[in-house]
Amino acid sequence: TTLFRSFRFILIHFLVLDAVNTIIAFMAIYASKVIGFSGGQITNFLITSAVGAMIGSWIIGLLAKHKGVIWSYWLVLGLWIAALFLTAISQSEALFWVVGPIAGVGMGGVWVVSRAFIIEHSPPEKVGEFFGLYGLAGKAASIMGPMLWGGVVWALSSTETLKYRVAVIVLLGIVTIAAFLFRGLTRQLQHQ
């Protein structure tokens, strides 16, 4: 039913936001401890990511309008999978500089397209309720993701930088699970 699909999307969104909120919270630490960025480099990296988020919001908003929200959400998932994968494997500063804009575009895009998805695929009389659940999922994700990150880093505290890479790989796994669940949801929507 439509209600079940909307709940399922909110679960998917919760998983994606787990990764997004955690990356926002810990990217500066990762850049410093794993990549070796200086304070100035971290500032420039975060500015690059923020500019990517602004541009990404606009571009993905246009794509959602012209290509549809499902296509656009797939793009956002792909951007996050790519950004997290590159973060996990990056050994050099040069490769890590590529991550900022990709994650930024994905960050801006995830909020634009997820809201459009809720409006388009929730029962019209329940849109307000689903936006309430959507907001709750965002708040819960901003707690759960960092707790998960902290748990991984604590459990692997004896390793030097491996603990941070494993934490990113865990986030990559979460977004991959979200993509798998979204694939099932899009198949349901196509068979309507």
Instruction: Reduce the secondary structure of 165-189 to three states and give it as a string.
Output: HHHHHHHHHHHHHHHHHHHHHHHHH
Average the pLDDT over 149-174 and give the result.
95
Reference 12, options 152, 184, 191; nearest CA is 184
- CA 70, CA 64: separation in Å to the nearest integer? 8
Which pLDDT value is given to residue 192?
Answer: 66
| Distance, C-alpha 135 to centroid of its chain | 15
Average the pLDDT over 171-186 and give the result.
94
**Does the structure show a pLDDT above 70 at 48?**
yes
Read off the pLDDT of residues 76-126 as tens digits, 9 standing for 90 and up. Answer: 999 999 999 999 999 889 999 999 999 999 999 998 998 888 888 777 888
**Does the structure show a pLDDT above 80 at 191?**
no
Handedness of CA 42, 43, 44, 48 (dihedral sign): positive
- CA 120, CA 59: separation in Å to the nearest integer? 19
**Does the structure show a pLDDT above 70 at 130?**
yes
| CA-based max dimension of the chain | 53
Q: Which of 14-18, 20-24, 122-126, 174-178 has the lowest mean pLDDT?
A: 122-126
Which pLDDT value is given to residue 133?
Answer: 87
CB atoms within 10 A of CB 88: 19
